[in-house]
Chain A
Amino acid sequence: MFRLSPNQRVLAALAELGGIALLARDVLASLLKWRVAGRDLLYQIFFIGIKSQTVVLITGAFTGMVLGTQTYFQFHKVKMDTATLAVVGVSMCSELGPVLTALMVSGRVGAAIAAELGTMRVTEQIDALRALATHPVDYLVLPRIIAAHIALPVLTLESVMIGILASYFVGVNVLDIEPTYLWVNMLKYTHQVDLLIGLVKAFIYGGIIGLIGCYKGLTCGLGAEGVGRATTEAAVYGSITILIANFFLTLVMGKLVGLL
Chain B
Amino acid sequence: MIEVRNLCRSFAGRPVLDDVSFRIENGESVAIIGRSGSGKSVLLKHLIGLLQPDRGAVLIDGENIVGMNERQLLRVRRKFGMVFQGAALFDSMTVAENVAFGLRRYEHLSEEQIASRVAGALEVVDLAGTEEKSPAELSGGMRKRAGLARAIIYEPQIVLYDEPTTGLDPIVSDSIDQLMVRVRDRFRVTTVVVTHDMRTARRVGQRILMLHECRVHATGTPDEIFASRDPVVRQFIDGVADAKKPELIHG
Taking beta carbons and an 8 Å cutoff, which residues of A are in contact with B? 120, 123-125, 127-135
Contact = CB atoms under 8 A, between A and B. Distances in A.
A257 B88 CA distance: 52
A129 B81 CA distance: 11
7 A-B pairs with least C-beta separation: A128-B88, A124-B88, A131-B82, A133-B77, A133-B74, A133-B78, A124-B84
Contact of B85 (A120, A124, A132, A134): A124
Contacts of A132: 77, 101-102, 105, 150
A131 B90 contact: no
5 contacts: A124-B84, A127-B45, A131-B48, A133-B105, A134-B105
A217 B103 CA distance: 26
Nearest to B85: A124
B70 A128 contact: no
B250 interface: no
A131 B50 CA distance: 7
Interface residues of B, number: 26
A124 B86 contact: yes
B11 interface: no
B112 interface: no
Nearest to B75: A133
B244 interface: no
Which one of B50, B81, B106 has the greatest number of beta carbons of chain A within 10 Å?
B50
B186 interface: no
Nearest to B80: A131
Contact of A123 (B50, B75, B86, B101): B86
Contacts of B84: 124, 127-128, 131
Interface in B49-84: 50, 70-71, 73-75, 77-78, 80-82, 84
A125 B101 CA distance: 13
B91 interface: yes
Contacts of B106: 133
B161 to A, nearest CB: 12
A137 to B, nearest CB: 8
Contacts of B105: 132-134
Nearest to B48: A131
Contacts of B147: 128
Interface in B135-188: 147, 150
Given A124-B86, A124-B88, A125-B90, A131 B71 contact: no
Contacts of A120: 90
A36 B102 CA distance: 15
A40 to B, nearest CB: 11
